[in-house]
Structure 1
Amino acid sequence: MAGAPGTNEPGVSVGNVSGSTFAIGSHARAVSHHGTAPDRDAATEELLAAVRELRADLTRVRGTDRTAELDAALAETEEEITGTGRAAPTRRQRLRELLADSESLLSVLSSAGAVAGLLGIGS
């Protein structure tokens, strides 16, 4: 490839580089962090495990609009924790509301009680 018009300098063409790591220049250094999980504290790890357990348990009960809404919120929470390392306060509040509205579910599924306890419901 030719460089700038009228020069003999080499040219560089870079196409789509999403998900790539590269460095240019004699002292350049490329460091990749692709695929590394975000740091999570112990409480967030515990919440993530409880969210996953509750999602699994929800498949064992008769589905309703309410359980579908709860499962969707749990899936979003799981995705947020695995992607960012935390669940935002608004996400936690939404789960609190859904679980508080599902008190009969809390008495049937111990995993729902575990998530509720980690979110501070009933304490």
Structure 2
Amino acid sequence: MAENPTPADRAAGGIHVSNAGGNVTIGDNNQVAYTVQGSEPSRDPRQEELLQAVRALRGDLTRVVASEQTTALDAELSDVEDEIEGTGAAAPGRLARLRQALADAGAVTGLFASAAAVGQAVGALLGG
């Protein structure tokens, strides 16, 4: 059918749906399935705080000369970010690896408030 049907199109039995923001069924014995596209898993506020701090620190790391320690830290940050986005939470083992990577890169990351925020968020989630 045309984008903007004419009265003749409507009289001929054509159907035009211009906006289907809700559920639409036409005919008998139809079923409606509702799925949320692009929805994220619900997150604990502490995990959300960690995710924001991880993103900030990853941005800050782009401002320093890469080293073995900062490269390893960025890899751990990336893994934590992916896990929180995918499942809603970073597992304790992943958080422990991130904590160690932060400590290993401490000479560089000590300059960034974002590194302190990540460390605090990880500490709160691991209980220490």
Q: Give the TM-score of the pair, scaled to structure 1.
A: 0.71
Residue 94 (structure 2) pairs with residue 91 (structure 1): yes
Q: Which residue of 2 aligns with 1:45?
A: 48
Which residue, out of 119, 124, 128, partners 1:116? 119
Summarize the alignment of residues 1-123 of structure 1 with structure 2, pairs less than 5 Å apart.
Answer: 26=29, 28-120=31-123
Tell me, in whole angstroms, the C-alpha distance in 2 between the residues paired with 1:56 and 1:89. Answer: 24
The structure having more radius of gyration, on CA atoms, is 2
Range with greater deviation from structure 2 (44-53 or 74-83) = 74-83
Tell me, in whole angstroms, the C-alpha distance in 2 between the residues paired with 1:120 and 1:77. Answer: 14
Greater helix share, structure number = 2
Tell me, in whole angstroms, the C-alpha distance in 2 between the residues paired with 1:119 and 1:37. Answer: 21
Gaps of 5+ in 2: 1-28
Residue type matched to 1:90 in 2? G
Residue 34 of structure 1 and its aligned partner are, at CA, apart by 2.9
Range with greater deviation from structure 2 (45-54 or 78-87) = 78-87
The structure with higher relative contact order (CA 8 Å, sep 6+) is: 2
Q: For residue 120 of structure 1, give the secondary structure of its aligned residue in structure 2.
A: helix
Q: For residue 40 of structure 1, give the secondary structure of its aligned residue in structure 2.
A: coil
Residue type matched to 2:55 in 1? R
| CA RMSD of superposed structures (Å) | 1.9
Kindly, what percent of the aligned residue pairs are identical? 46
Gaps of 5+ in 1: 1-25
Q: How many residues align?
A: 98
- 1:31-88: CA deviation from partner (whole Å, max 9, x where unpaired): 2133111101211111000000000000001101211111111111111111111111
